[in-house]
Amino acid sequence: MLNLKMAKDLISGAISQPNLIAHCENVMAAMGAMAEHFGEDKEYWQAIGYLHDFDYEKFPDEHLAHTKGPLLGAGVDEASVRAILSHGYGICTDVKPISNLEKSLFCVDELTGIIDACAKMRPNGFADLGASSVMKKFKDKKFAAKCDRSVILKGYEMLNMDIKEVVEICIKGMRELHQA
């Protein structure tokens, strides 16, 4: 089964861009917090989050098309690969998120970009960042414009959760990462 060390080893051979590594770390942290929320295996969910953009640096225009074979070949189990592929549902894959793990990854991938951008604008970063600040910026489509709000909205609806609750959970996980 996929673990965090394996995910980090695989990413180290696939991604070198600091901004993309930081994104993977943020998604990892948010996924760990989502796992805690659902009472699931935190390290496993973090590993999925860390590994989710495995092929993005080399194949940005064919994202997730070069993921399944290499990950299976590296010993990553089929369920983990499926979870990773599901974050591209309706965008670049037809793998529909079914489990809370998959739905969470689908939602938090884009959401972490907005949260991170909000934290970078604050003098104290994540230390005093609240969901209300993120929600205010979420409504401003020019802020972190590359973060697809429609994907985030679809994700939290899939989870049957309030978006503010998802934001609070993600902030908690990302705060732990950035204050470590």
Average pLDDT score over the chain: 96
Q: Could you tell me the CATH number of the domain that includes residue 65?
A: 1.10.3210
Packed helices 100-120 and 18-38: angle between N→C axes, nearest 10 degrees: 130
| Spatial separation of the C-alpha atoms in residues 129 and 5, rounded to whole Å | 29
Q: What is the pLDDT of residue 19?
A: 96
Give backbone dihedrals phi and psi of 39, rounded to 5 degrees, phi first. Answer: 70, 35
- Containing domain of residue 57, as a range? 4-179
Q: How confident is the model at residue 34 (pLDDT cuts 50, 70, 90)?
A: very high
Model pLDDT for residues 124-148, shown as the tens digit of each residue: 999 999 999 999 999 999 999 999 9
DSSP-derived secondary structure letter, 61: G
Asked if 76 contacts 2 with a C-beta cutoff of 8 angstroms, the reply is yes
Q: What is the mean pLDDT of residues 24-49?
A: 98
Q: What is the pLDDT of residue 1?
A: 85
Report how many domains make up the chain: 1
Does the pLDDT value for residue 180 go beyond 80? no
Model pLDDT for residues 56-113, shown as the tens digit of each residue: 999 999 999 999 999 999 999 999 999 999 999 999 999 999 999 999 999 999 999 9
Give percent of the chain above pLDDT 90. 98
Three-state secondary structure of 67-110: CHHHHHHCCCCHHHHHHHHHCCECCCECCCCCCHHHHHHHHHHH
Give percent of the chain above pLDDT 70. 99
